[in-house]
């Protein structure tokens, strides 16, 4: 969320100026104090806003604009002061800054009025950790356990010809999760000489070839400037005479397959290619395909309970509304997982569950899955929204280093300082919260058990959040 990040960044800058032995004397104390009070109020307002309303969104845009303007004025003044050699006799009162303070005061008055009339809050106090919490990937496989051995048998048995297996299903149906389970299974690791995974991008042929080569040979710095044909020839040469497993994740067109297939040799040794797609026309090109069926109401409810309560039973007062929520998830494991994480991380009250059901149900006629995605994003605390949006710097479906993203978050300056904790500790806590909310998944852990690398549960959640943030 741009407004929250802008306010925190400005507060951090004011803190640095206040701690500077000479810069602090070059600003008017009354102006700085007024600005701090305004920012503290606006930050509290942003942290309390949980409902997406046009009036609130307009206020958030105005808050972000005012904070950026104040930061520009302060930074320009610091530059001027540095050029002047931080002379003690420079004027400390800034007319430009005073106008921004007045502007923020007006925004504060309007925010106070909105706050008095604010409807039911989405954000709820985070409860203590619940026993029986399980990973998102395991949740997505509930109801599809029979498909894993079926697919493994197709991969490791049968014909020696190069065999292509499409996994087809709508977004959120668990296609990628099933493919990943097979890709990482000990049986496939032992059976195949080499394995490579690539997610289809807009620059699909070149991007796919580079991703495959990155999996197979490590760094692609030496070949990044090569043509598509040169990259394809290198891939073909690397795969020749080897039994390989190739995953083409989220392929949208027959044309893409037609361009990439010539670089994947048929070694007559049992090599396999998995294509995950939501396009039936693409899957129909092959003699066999595995279709991801939707969960029935019983399985959806069981998965939701498993996600929210672990091995405990759902309280009787929540059962009726909970079954309605599960039904609204349209049988999509990803939707159930996201909603389950939302309920798990909030107060277990019927009022809140009714609010979730109403928000999902109201979006069913247009796009129920979109409603679920946006509910998950809108329910994030204000301090987590810019951190989640920042993950958009990484390509879709690509692992990212936790230590790297923490350094980037700290460097951006939108982390709110906490007394007695370093910014790195704060960032680590934010990462844990995003994991607990099932928006990102731990792919590898370090020796200390802490997350080392993560991946987005589904990039479409981030894309929808980015669109919503841009519209704000």
pLDDT digits (tens, 9 = 90+) for 418-455: 888 899 999 999 998 888 877 887 878 888 888 888 88
Average of pLDDT values for 75-98? 69
* Class of the CATH domain delimited by 295-378: mainly alpha
Range scoring the smallest mean pLDDT among 103-112, 161-170, 270-279: 103-112
Could you please state the CATH topology (level 3) that the domain comprising 385-471 is classified under: Arc Repressor Mutant, subunit A (1.10.10)
Per-residue tokens: 376:
């998950």
Check residue 122 and give its pLDDT: 43
User: Domain boundaries in the chain?
Assistant: 2-116, 145-291, 295-378, 385-471
Q: How far apart are CA 332 and CA 295, in angstroms?
A: 6
Residues 6+ apart with CB under 8 A from 366: none
Q: Which residue has the tokens 């899957």?
A: 283
Could you please state the CATH topology (level 3) that the domain comprising 2-116 is classified under: 1.20.5
Check residue 239 and give its pLDDT: 94
Q: How far apart are CA 257 and CA 250, in angstroms?
A: 11
Average of pLDDT values for 338-350? 85
Rounded to the nearest integer, the mean pLDDT of the chain is 80
- Per-residue pLDDT band at 126 (split at 50, 70, 90): very low
Task: For residue range 202-257, list pLDDT tens digits in order.
Answer: 557 888 888 888 888 877 777 878 888 999 999 999 999 999 999 998 887 788 88
Q: How far apart are CA 160 and CA 464, in angstroms?
A: 43
Check residue 392 and give its pLDDT: 80
Check residue 415 and give its pLDDT: 85
Check residue 367 and give its pLDDT: 57
Phi-psi region of 240 (alpha: psi -120 to 50; beta: other; left: phi over 0): beta
Q: Does the pLDDT at position 462 exceed 90?
A: no
With a threshold of 0.85, does the pTM exceed it?
A: no
Runs of H (alpha helix) within 379-437: 385-390, 402-412, 423-436
Same fold? 2-116, 385-471 = no
Check residue 264 and give its pLDDT: 93
Check residue 459 and give its pLDDT: 63
Rounded (10°) angle between helices 147-156 and 175-184: 50
Torsion of the alpha carbons at 204, 284, 161 and 167, rounded to the nearest 10: 70
Phi-psi region of 441 (alpha: psi -120 to 50; beta: other; left: phi over 0): beta
Question: Buried b vs exposed e over 141-158: b needs ≥16 C-beta within 10 Å?
Answer: bbbbeebeeebbebbbee
CATH number for the region 145-291 comes to: 3.40.50.300
More confident of the two residues 23 and 287: 287
Q: Does the pLDDT at position 396 exceed 70?
A: no
Select the highest-mean-pLDDT range: 99-113, 163-177, 257-271, 338-352: 257-271
Q: Does the pLDDT at position 157 exceed 80?
A: yes
Check residue 110 and give its pLDDT: 82
Q: Does the pLDDT at position 351 exceed 50?
A: yes
């Amino acid at each position: 969320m741009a407004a929250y990040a802008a306010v925190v960044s400005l507060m951090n800058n004011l803190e640095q100026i206040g701690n500077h032995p000479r810069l602090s004397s070059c600003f008017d104390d009354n102006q700085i104090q007024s600005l701090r009070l305004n920012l503290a109020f606006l930050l509290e307002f942003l942290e309390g806003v949980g409902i997406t309303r046009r009036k609130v969104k307009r206020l958030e845009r105005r808050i972000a604009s005012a904070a950026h303007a104040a930061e520009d004025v302060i930074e320009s003044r610091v530059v001027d002061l540095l050029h002047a050699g931080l002379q003690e006799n420079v004027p400390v009162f800034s007319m430009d800054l005073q106008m921004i303070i007045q502007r923020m005061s007006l925004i504060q008055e309007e925010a106070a009025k909105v706050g008095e009339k604010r409807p039911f809050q989405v954000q709820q106090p985070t409860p203590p950790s619940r026993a029986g919490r399980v990973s998102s990937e395991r949740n997505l496989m509930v109801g599809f356990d029979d498909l894993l051995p079926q697919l493994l048998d197709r991969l490791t048995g049968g014909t020696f010809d190069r065999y292509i297996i499409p996994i087809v299903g709508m977004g959120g149906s668990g296609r990628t999760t099933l493919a990943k389970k097979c890709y990482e299974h000990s049986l496939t690791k032992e059976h195949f000489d080499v394995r490579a995974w690539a997610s289809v991008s807009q620059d699909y042929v070149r991007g796919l070839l580079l991703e495959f080569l990155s999996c197979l040979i490590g760094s692609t710095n030496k070949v990044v400037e090569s043509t598509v044909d040169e990259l394809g020839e290198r891939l073909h040469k690397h795969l020749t005479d080897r039994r390989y497993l190739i995953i083409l994740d989220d392929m949208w067109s027959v044309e893409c397959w037609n361009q990439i297939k010539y670089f994947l040799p048929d070694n007559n040794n049992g090599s396999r290619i998995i294509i995950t797609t939501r396009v039936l026309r693409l899957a129909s090109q092959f003699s066999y395909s595995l279709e991801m069926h939707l969960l029935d109401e019983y399985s959806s409810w069981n998965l939701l309970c498993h996600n929210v309560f672990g091995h405990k039973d759902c309280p009787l007062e929540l059962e009726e509304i909970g079954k309605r929520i599960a039904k609204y998830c349209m049988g999509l494991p990803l939707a159930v997982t996201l909603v389950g994480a939302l309920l798990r991380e909030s107060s277990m009250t019927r009022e809140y569950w009714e609010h979730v059901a109403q928000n999902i149900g109201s979006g069913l006629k247009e796009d129920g899955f979109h409603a679920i995605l946006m509910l998950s994003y809108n329910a994030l605390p204000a301090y987590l929204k810019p951190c989640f949006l920042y993950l958009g710097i990484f390509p879709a479906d690509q692992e990212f280093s936790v230590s790297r993203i923490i350094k980037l978050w700290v460097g951006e300056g939108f982390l709110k300082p906490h007394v007695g904790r370093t910014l790195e500790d704060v960032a680590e806590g934010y990462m844990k919260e995003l994991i607990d909310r099932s928006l990102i998944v731990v792919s590898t852990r370090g020796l200390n058990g802490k997350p080392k690398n993560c991946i987005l549960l589904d990039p479409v959640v981030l894309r929808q959040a980015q669109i919503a943030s841009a519209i704000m």
